[in-house]
Structure 1
Amino acid sequence: MRSRPRGGRVQALREATTGALWPLPTAAILLAVGLGIGLTELDQALGYGEDPIRFVFTGGPSAARTLLSAIASSLISVTTLLFSLTIVTLQLASSQYSPRLLQTFVRDRVVQTCLGVLLGTFVYALVVLRTVRSADEAQGSSFVPRISVTVAFLFALASVAALVTFLSHQTRQLRVETMMRDVHSESARTRARLHERQEEDQQPDRPLPQVPDSARPLCARSSGFLVQVFEGPLLEAVTGAGAVLLLDRRPGDTVVAGAPMAWAWSQDAGNGVQVEELEKALQRAVHLGHERADVADPSYGLRKLVDIAARALSPGINDPTTAGHALSHVSALLGDAAARDTWHRRLTDEDGAERLVLRSWTFSELLELGVTQVRYYGREDLTVVDRLFALLAEVAWRARTPAQQRAVRQHLDALVEQSRTSPPAGRTLDDVQRWARTVDEALAGRWLRPAS
């Protein structure tokens, strides 16, 4: 089955808008302007005479102005309060847990929806307010857009509900357990998306192809974090050049202008590759951002959770319980990642020849990311060391291949050596050996029964 290329400018735009705070409130403001103009035109077309429609606003111009003015003035104050609370939440998450958690808050649909309702109601009230006129004004006859004012009143009630929802939601969002749950969910969605692509390729797990001596390095022309690759255009350019290209940067890696980021070689050993043309095609096909994103990066969720655990173990915070909870999420994600040894992407041309290889993360690299830093910072804490041994046992139980088992064994040996040199407070070498035996049994496909 031929690999189908993924990615494009439309997808990049969609990812950029879903990861920003402004699109949904902006859409709400535009909708409010449209409703404000459209409903007032409907009011003028209907005309009410002396017998207005039941259940709509029946007051005069002065009452309509008072109501609309009260809605507009109160909502701009409430919106300012909500923006202030959002900024405080972002600052707290950044300073106490991890700066990379800001993306999770910014893309929160509840926050975006509440801000959209408040801003939309404010703008709608202003648009309708401009159409209210008294009999003594220049037009000569009074006009009260009764349906429009009634809708403004309903929007005000919706804004009250949005305010209560926002406050309730923010109190939950400030809990570190909620933050870790959201990170876990984002990472699980990314892994599922990558797994779907790999299944579509029908490519077995195998290491990257050997780069021949004739391969030429392709240098980056701009700097940033590798977010994703627009596979279609790059595959077309590489196929047209009769070359094979290996992208030597993983999603989430730093790319520096002027430094090699890929290797290219010709399928025909006697021909060279057009380095200049392929570098231009590579520049157009890679999306580099000023910050990392989880679009195609299976490691980003682990990075956030490890940041939370490491920050919790710092002397200024000293919260090993939070570190242990973060390791529980890390364990679950690593166990799911054991579904594959590698997450590399391979694309072929129409004839089935492999043309484009996009390097990604391997299971052993993800395991190292999830364990190494926490092992170092929490080496003397009983809670953390105990949870690290349990993590390795849980991952070992789900390890499918010898390569994954070797990776677990490597980290088990390092953890045992560290714990023997400096046992956690209140534990002895016998405890370390007992923890290690739990992992050994899991690697052998056996789970120790609880002691009676």
Structure 2
Amino acid sequence: MGDWKTTAGLPPGRRPRALSPLREHLRDTFWFAPTVALVLVVAVWTAASAADDAILTALRDAGDEDAVRDLLRIAEDAKTVVTTVSAAMMTFIGVVFSISLVAVQMAAGQFSPRVVRIFVRSRITKATFAVFLATFVLSLLVLTSYDSEPDPALVSSTPLVQSVLTVIMVGLSVVLFVMYVNSMLRLMRVVHVIDRITAESLRVVAGMPLDMAAEEPVALGPETARLAHHGRAGVLRDVNIARLVRTARQQGVVLRLIPRIGDFVTPGTPVFTVHGRNGGHDGHSGHDGHGGRSGPLTKGLRALYSQVSVGAERTFHQDLGFGLRQLSDIALRALSPAVNDPTTAVQAVDRIVQFLSAVARRPLGASLYRDGQGTVRLVQSVPGWTELVDLGFAEIRMYAVHSPQVTRRLVAGLDDLLGAVPEDRREPLIRHRALLTEAVERAVPEAADRAFALHPDRQGIG
């Protein structure tokens, strides 16, 4: 199959977890956490109701009527609290999250529409919404447990434990509300949005396999099949790596993902090429007339279609360049005449340099995923170094020529990266530095201003 160039001194790539795509998809939804919370609150209410019945029965069996009357009195007082909570909680939910939607809309207009997913994925937002709904539902369930019998001797249920749980949920709601407001105020500040994007991007880098191919093409052996996309058109969000590796091992083949994560695919777009093990000798013979092998191989490969996730927008899960795309978008919007906020652009450039520094010495080009025996089973293309540098600097460089604060930061960032990368990765950085110098020389007539604009400064203009 040819020699695989891997990171020196590092063990083979980490095997991905099978549920990884599902977990990430659920994080991109807003319904899952509230649904789980509602199911849990019904289960907790059922247990609390049984506990209340057991307490009342035990007291009556013991003949302690005074304790029974005290219990009924406490429960009746608690009913007032539960009724108030039930009436106020839903109104509170509506007001809080209406304000939140306005805040999200403002953030999307000021920063980038792609930052909305940060709000959707926010754990504190989901937890707050889930607990608020759970408190409201619990209060309704508790109200149904109250007996309407006027005679205490005929009362069969005293929801004391349930009422205590409701008060606890109200207290938890208050705490989460304070945390939620603090989180929302942070996310409305661009520096924290940029920080979150950078953290997600670096998490993608950390999750990449340690086993990477060099940027030159990798020899896979002869192609034995090509599988096209049959689902809806959309952005390739991710693939289920663990199951693809398992399928390739069972079939004795190597799979290569043709589009990159983040590419737009339509029905009929080639998605996988199949390469027979050791040049195609996998124990099967014959072809089916559609570019694939006949028999068990073709049947087994049908399972690959369900391992490809296509959606409306890109996600961070396996997309190495998505973070740079968002940082670049924020910087471009800050440099637009309508916003004119070069300081925000400098903050975005700071993080672009941080991200590129994190991948400066990593092998790029293709991720190699191996089975338990160490055999490569899946090859997934990732952006190369030159593409990442272009994504991070090209557009910003074009629109920053009239902002010396940004050009000075760009020059400093490029110089820092030139000192951090290997010799074979210096060319795109040198190219961008030269293009930036030429653009400033054309746009700025005064020599002193040009010299000022091209002076490296990590704070732009401190």
Q: Same fold (TM over 0.5)?
A: yes
Structure 1: unaligned runs, 5 residues or longer: 440-452
Matched, 1:76 2:93: no
- The answer to whether the 8 A contact 1:249-1:360 is kept is no
Matched, 1:283 2:305: yes
Name the residue aligned to 2:348.
326
Select the residue among 4, 24, 45 that pairs with 2:54: 45
In 1, Cα distance between the equivalents of 2:308 and 2:321?
19
| Pair 1:237–1:148, CA change in 2 (3 A) | closer
Name the residue aligned to 2:429.
408
- The answer to whether the 8 A contact 1:265-1:272 is kept is no
The residue type paired with residue 252 of structure 1 is G
Select the residue among 243, 247, 265 that pairs with 1:255: 265
Matched, 1:231 2:246: no
| Pair 1:157–1:236, CA change in 2 (3 A) | closer
Select the residue among 116, 134, 146 that pairs with 2:130: 116
Name the residue aligned to 1:422.
443
Q: CA offsets per residue over residues 295-349 of structure 1, 9 Å max, x none?
A: 1111111111111111111222121111111111111111111131405112457
Name the residue aligned to 1:447.
none
Q: CA offsets per residue over residues 14-55 of structure 1, 9 Å max, x none?
A: 11112222222222222222222221221121125422699x
Name the residue aligned to 2:36.
27
In 2, Cα distance between the equivalents of 1:265 and 1:159?
55
Deviation at 1:369, TM superposition (A): 0.6
In 2, Cα distance between the equivalents of 1:113 and 1:351?
41
Name the residue aligned to 2:218.
209
Task: Report the TM-score when normalising by structure 2.
Answer: 0.82
- The answer to whether the 8 A contact 2:255-2:274 is kept is yes
Name the residue aligned to 2:408.
386
- The answer to whether the 8 A contact 2:26-2:32 is kept is yes
In 1, Cα distance between the equivalents of 2:72 and 2:319?
54
| Pair 1:208–1:386, CA change in 2 (3 A) | same
Name the residue aligned to 1:99.
113
In 1, Cα distance between the equivalents of 2:33 and 2:371?
40
The residue type paired with residue 140 of structure 2 is L
Q: Which has the higher contact order (CA 8 A, sep 6+)?
A: 2
In 2, Cα distance between the equivalents of 1:424 and 1:294?
42
- The answer to whether the 8 A contact 2:408-2:454 is kept is no
Aligned partner of residue 130 in structure 1, secondary structure = helix
Matched, 1:36 2:57: no
In 2, Cα distance between the equivalents of 1:432 and 1:241?
59
Deviation at 1:230, TM superposition (A): 2.5
The residue type paired with residue 284 of structure 1 is S
In 2, Cα distance between the equivalents of 1:289 and 1:425?
50
Matched, 1:360 2:382: yes
| Pair 1:427–1:37, CA change in 2 (3 A) | farther
State which drifts further: 207-216 or 416-425.
207-216
Aligned partner of residue 50 in structure 1, secondary structure = helix
The residue type paired with residue 339 of structure 1 is R
Deviation at 1:143, TM superposition (A): 4.1
**Count of equivalent residues:** 428
Aligned partner of residue 345 in structure 1, secondary structure = strand
- The answer to whether the 8 A contact 1:68-1:125 is kept is yes
Name the residue aligned to 1:59.
74
| Pair 1:416–1:33, CA change in 2 (3 A) | same
Matched, 1:178 2:178: no
| Pair 1:236–1:172, CA change in 2 (3 A) | closer
| Pair 1:353–1:76, CA change in 2 (3 A) | closer
| Pair 1:75–1:353, CA change in 2 (3 A) | closer
Structure 1 vs Structure 2 CA RMSD: 3.3
- The answer to whether the 8 A contact 1:2-1:349 is kept is no
State which drifts further: 279-288 or 132-141.
132-141
| Pair 1:336–1:349, CA change in 2 (3 A) | closer
Aligned partner of residue 46 in structure 2, secondary structure = helix
Structure 2: unaligned runs, 5 residues or longer: 1-10, 60-64, 293-297
The residue type paired with residue 414 of structure 1 is L
Q: Following superposition of structure 1 onto structure 2, how do residues 6-21 of structure 1 map, counting pairs within 5 Å? A: 6=16, 8=18, 10-21=19-30
| Pair 1:262–1:412, CA change in 2 (3 A) | farther
In 2, Cα distance between the equivalents of 1:425 and 1:90?
43
The residue type paired with residue 124 of structure 1 is L
The residue type paired with residue 403 of structure 1 is D
Aligned partner of residue 407 in structure 1, secondary structure = helix
In 2, Cα distance between the equivalents of 1:211 and 1:371?
33
In 2, Cα distance between the equivalents of 1:412 and 1:406?
10
- The answer to whether the 8 A contact 1:341-1:404 is kept is no
Percent of residue pairs identical: 27
Select the residue among 168, 178, 181 that pairs with 1:167: 181
Aligned partner of residue 398 in structure 1, secondary structure = coil
The residue type paired with residue 74 of structure 2 is G
Name the residue aligned to 1:446.
none
Task: Report the TM-score when normalising by structure 1.
Answer: 0.84
In 2, Cα distance between the equivalents of 1:424 and 1:190?
43
In 1, Cα distance between the equivalents of 2:55 and 2:249?
64
The residue type paired with residue 51 of structure 2 is L
